[in-house]
Chains A and B, each alone.
Chain A
């Protein structure tokens, strides 16, 4: 457990970066510090591993003040991931990952073995081991940055806007990977971001900070969306809060409707419904309008793919999105292997959510 106790950071000249921060960061969970620029979130993070020293107040890790430890020793026991990865350009990927183990005095063989292991665990091919950072994409560099932070298996991981410099598609992948890794590793993660959606997605606990370095609210993502304490937090959470909160709500059992399906190359019978779902080997491909089929048989070019497909285990938000994005108003639901199960209507989802709300 990491505790901030009335921690203040003042710079000479009187500017206050962090003002009386008191916060408990539970072990084995992800705590996200989020806020606009200048709110002191990065300063707070960097005070944990003494990259910045507090002016007043106490920061403890499992009861020991960080100031009682030698700074370099403290840092070797805490994983550190930063925005631009900060890989060492003159060292290969493997050497980069092995940095902390080597600093801790592990022998070369053991450090290399651990580095290879982490390379794989962050989803990178071992072909990359002997490349240099300049030869990697931004997303790959960031994965190496995460592997490097985890290489000596520290219990705590500090991540300072690690995914903000990569494109949105890669960012989503990295976020998903982090959640997967965390489910496995259960590290105490302190994550800084200015992106509230990222905070809500990754955090078990989200601490919203306001300009001037003051803590505005700490809560779980659900509670934050449901009960923002003031206008600042409400504004920072942004619009679409009702929709977004559906990402965190459990999905009641969906009533699935069956569909008349077609296979590729099949000719629909006379009197078919206006839209039919094309399914090939159990997997949904898209919708077709039998009346508009040029040659009479279903071809790939006839498919309407506008509908988003949701998994049966997905959140209400995804089920709703599947229904709303579908040309038929019926969202396609699949099982974990992508096999077609049935369709769902937006009204079904809404009815379920309202019933849920009425009983809770």
Chain B
């Protein structure tokens, strides 16, 4: 019984190596036939132009922040707006 188990083990390992070696060969053929091509670089995103109502929005936020802090709008200066 152990003898036949050893025989089965050798045959089975042989089959596994055979199947996986065939797959290695096929992968190599595929990789050679279809080489990797780097995708084209995406076009640069144009800088969003300031909309007509952007100034009004900033002014409204400015006033709201000042009111929330209990200060006058003049005492707060918005120095930078992070574009979305």
A binds B: no
User: A: which residues have CB within 8 A of B?
Assistant: none
